[in-house]
Amino acid sequence: MPLEIGENAPSMSVVTDDGSLLDLSTLYAKGLVLVYFYPKADTPGCTVQACNLRDNITGLNKAGVTVIGVSADSVDAQAKFKKKYNLNFVLVADSERALIKAFGVDARQTFIVKDGKVAWRQLKATPKTQAADALAALKGL
């Protein structure tokens, strides 16, 4: 089951698209974090979703949001996906599916983490409107 609003977001270290470790609890402490999960890098729906967030990153950043994308792809696959589409946010290579399991994700889903807790979730994320959906949700947080 996906994490509920108000539940603690998973605090763990994850591997990013450049092979470095990212400590999620440190990231959560810096402000709002949009964590979006997608099935597979460089597939049609996932590309639309990533590019939608890329194209709207300025508005998200102005709202104080850091974006991270997560899939079970390898570091190499994430790095290629990021480079191919000039993605301007971190991708997590969750090949062990630890973060996917910790959030309870089973499909394309998005969460906003505020103060280390799930503040919003979209259990059926829409690739073409991902950024607008998140920005609309922020107004209620």
Kindly give, in sequence order, each residue whose CB lies less than 8 Å from that of residue 135, ignoring residues fewer than 6 positions away. 56, 59, 60, 63
Q: Which amino acid is at 112?
A: I
Of 18, 20, 19, 32, residue with least CA distance to 118: 32
Please identify which of the residues 14, 46, 68, 70 carries the catalytic annotation.
46
The answer to whether the beta carbons of residues 60 and 68 sit under 8 Å apart is no
What is the torsional sign of CA 68, 104, 119, 44? positive
Phi, psi for 123 (deg, rounded to 5): -80, -15
Hey, which bits of 1-141 come out as E strands? 13-15, 21-23, 32-37, 65-71, 90-93, 109-114, 117-122
Is 46 among the residues known to form the active site?
yes
Instruction: Catalogue the active-site residues.
Output: 46
